[in-house]
Amino acid sequence: MDDCLISPWGHLHLYLHQENRNEKNVPKTLLLRVDPVISLVIATVIFVGTWKLLRDSINYAVDAVPKSIDITDIKRYLLSFENVRFIHDLHVWPLSTTENALTVHVVVDNEWLDNDFLRKLQLHLRDRFGIKHSTIQVETARKDSNCLLDRPECE
C-alpha cells in the first residue's frame, strides 16, 4: 500500500478499481486493460533504468576489459621503462564497479633486476590507470636474443 501512496500509476489503479467507478460510466473493458498496460509501462521504466547496470554486470561476469582501460596505452607505458625488452600475457579485468586487476609478464635484461622495479610499476599502474590489484611476473631474456629463458626454442 505504501507504493500506491507515492506512485501515480498506483493512484490511477485505485481510482479505476474502486467499486463505485462502474456507477460513473467507466467502461468495464477499460478496467480489464488498465492492469496489463500499467504493468508494461512499469516494466519498461525498470528495464530502461537498469539497462546500464545489466550491461555492466554481463561485462563483469565475462571478465571483459573495463571501458575506462586502454590496453594499448598500458602496453606503451610498460614498454617505456628503460630495461623492459617486451611484455606478454597482459590481461585486465574488473573486480567490481570501482576496482580493476591486471596480470602481465614483463621481460627485462638478465643483468637488470631491481628490487624496487615491481613496486614502482604497481604504484604507477595504480596512479595512472586506476589498477589497484596488479600481478607482475618478471622474466629475464637472454642477452643475445629476444627469447625467454624458460622457452625450449631458446636453448
Number of Cα atoms under 13 Å in the Cβ half of residue 62: 7
85 and 55 together in one domain: no
Tally of residues, the chain: 155
Give me the CATH number covering residue 94.
3.30.70.1350
Among 104, 110, 114, which residue's Cα sits nearest to residue 78?
104
Percent of the chain with pLDDT over 70: 66
* Segment 86-140, tens digit of pLDDT: 899 999 988 887 888 999 999 987 766 667 888 888 999 999 998 999 999 988 8
Per-residue pLDDT averaged across 52-78, rounded?
A: 84
75 and 121 together in one domain: yes
51 and 113 together in one domain: no
Please give the mean pLDDT across all residues of the chain: 77
40 and 77 together in one domain: no
For 20, the domain range is: 2-61
Answer whether residue 45 is part of any domain: yes
Answer whether residue 155 is part of any domain: no
pLDDT > 70? residue 142 = no
Q: pLDDT at position 27, please? A: 66
16 and 54 together in one domain: yes
